[in-house]
Amino acid sequence: MRLLVQRVKGASVTVDEKQVGKIDKGFLILVGVAPEDDEAICSKMAQKVVQMRVFEDADGKMNKSVTDIGGSFLAVSQFTLYADCRKGNRPSFTGACEPKRANELYEFFCGEAEKLGIKVERGVFGADMQVALVNDGPVTIMLDSDEIVKR
């Protein structure tokens, strides 16, 4: 699983000119799922993001979590996080999970974050989405389960 986590002052996702998700302060998370991912990996990744301390404290240090600041998640499925650009000019996406299972794990990840007390807004899996955000900092962090979760 790959998560591109962006600290935002606000973010929204629109499908067919209708806003389907919107948050104020928190994380916009682009979620990519690999074929070998499972529920255990999703749980660990959700916990990692919820506990990640990248919001400023009173001293201006990145020392607070999204929970500490009362923030939310906007989670958007993003199979292109598994783009393989090593050959030619057109990326291959064979490293991404097949859509049905990817959607199940994307929803499971969102549900795990909700269980940890986070309000989670969602994009629409598989839809053509327009994502808007105000990146705060900017702070953008890539989390890869291959580096975080011991298998």
Checking if the pLDDT of 150 tops 90, the result is no
Return the beta strands (E) in 58-128 as ranges.
Answer: 62-64, 72-77, 119-122
Paired tokens of 150: 């011991």
Among residues 70, 69, 83, the alpha carbon closest in space to that of 30 is found at 83
Question: Helix (H, G, I), strand (E, B), or coil: what is residue 65?
Answer: coil
What pLDDT score was predicted for residue 149? 81
Checking if the pLDDT of 82 tops 80, the result is yes
Checking if the pLDDT of 151 tops 80, the result is no
Averaged pLDDT, 77-84 = 94
**CB neighbours of residue 72 within 10 Å:** 22
Q: Which residues are catalytic, by number? A: 78-80
CATH of domain 2-144: 3.50.80.10
Checking if the pLDDT of 148 tops 70, the result is yes
